[in-house]
């Protein structure tokens, strides 16, 4: 099942400013416009020569996203172990932005839900939520979907809307099968991989 189906959209004010930090600033209005497709990994702020976020900063950003989303979506907060597990999964997913074979126009055409699926698969797929409770899956899914909505909006700002986008191959929807509620979240943390390792050994 598409992870975007599970989660709804979070308020833009809750996560929008943080998602912007994933990309290098393009300057004022129109400053980032280019006349050819831009690979999605090019403007990310945690890779390349213009990197402004290190791994620690990316981790901190992922944690802030999780905390803001948890406050907005949960009546009864998740415990610390669950929040850490969701942060682990989101960090890996955000890092996968730098490994997608996708340009900005393709991302806009595919839409945020398909982009969410692609990132989910690239970051590890079912292994990301293998030990998650249903509440943890819901929080991760809402964050993934809403983050991708902001990412697609960013991509739309890079190039003129009149260009005809190329059509990439659509990936098969991942098997979105979380474990039963109550499974120990600590097991997921014990198997945590670094973003670089996980993304280097997984793919759509």
- Measured over the CA atoms of residue 3, residue 101, residue 166 and residue 108, the dihedral's sign is positive
Mean pLDDT of the chain: 74
Query: What's the rounded Cα separation, in Å, for the pair 71 and 30?
Result: 35
The pLDDT of residue 10: 62
pLDDT of residue 147 exceeding 70: yes
**pLDDT digit string, tens, across residues 185-203:** 344 444 444 444 444 444 4
Alpha-carbon distance of 38 to 71, in angstroms, equals 35
pLDDT digits (tens, 9 = 90+) for 90-113: 999 999 998 888 888 999 999 999
Output the CA–CA distances (angstroms, integers) from residue 203 to 117, 123, 200, in the order listed: 12, 7, 8
Average pLDDT over residues 177-182: 40
Residue 145 has pLDDT above 90, yes or no: yes
Cα torsion through 108, 110, 175, 99, rounded to 10: -50
């Amino acid at each position: 099942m598409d992870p975007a189906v599970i989660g709804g959209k979070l308020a833009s004010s809750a996560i929008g400013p943080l998602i912007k930090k994933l990309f290098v600033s393009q300057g004022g209005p129109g400053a980032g416009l280019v006349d050819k497709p831009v690979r999605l990994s090019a403007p990310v702020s945690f890779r390349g020569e213009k990197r402004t976020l290190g791994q620690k900063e990316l981790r901190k950003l992922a944690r802030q996203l999780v905390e803001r989303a948890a406050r907005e979506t949960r009546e009864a907060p998740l415990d610390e172990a669950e929040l850490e597990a969701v942060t682990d999964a989101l960090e890996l997913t955000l890092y996968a932005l730098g490994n997608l074979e996708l340009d900005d126009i393709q991302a806009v055409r595919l839409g945020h839900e398909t982009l969410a699926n692609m990132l989910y698969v690239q970051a590890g797929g079912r292994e990301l939520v293998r030990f998650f409770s249903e509440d943890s899956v819901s929080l991760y899914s809402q964050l993934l979907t809403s983050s991708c909505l902001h990412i697609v909006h960013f991509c739309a700002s890079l190039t003129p809307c009149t260009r005809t986008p190329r059509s990439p191959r659509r990936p098969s929807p991942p098997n979105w099968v979380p474990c039963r509620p109550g499974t120990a979240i600590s097991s997921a943390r014990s198997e945590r991989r670094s973003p670089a390792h996980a993304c280097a050994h997984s793919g759509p």
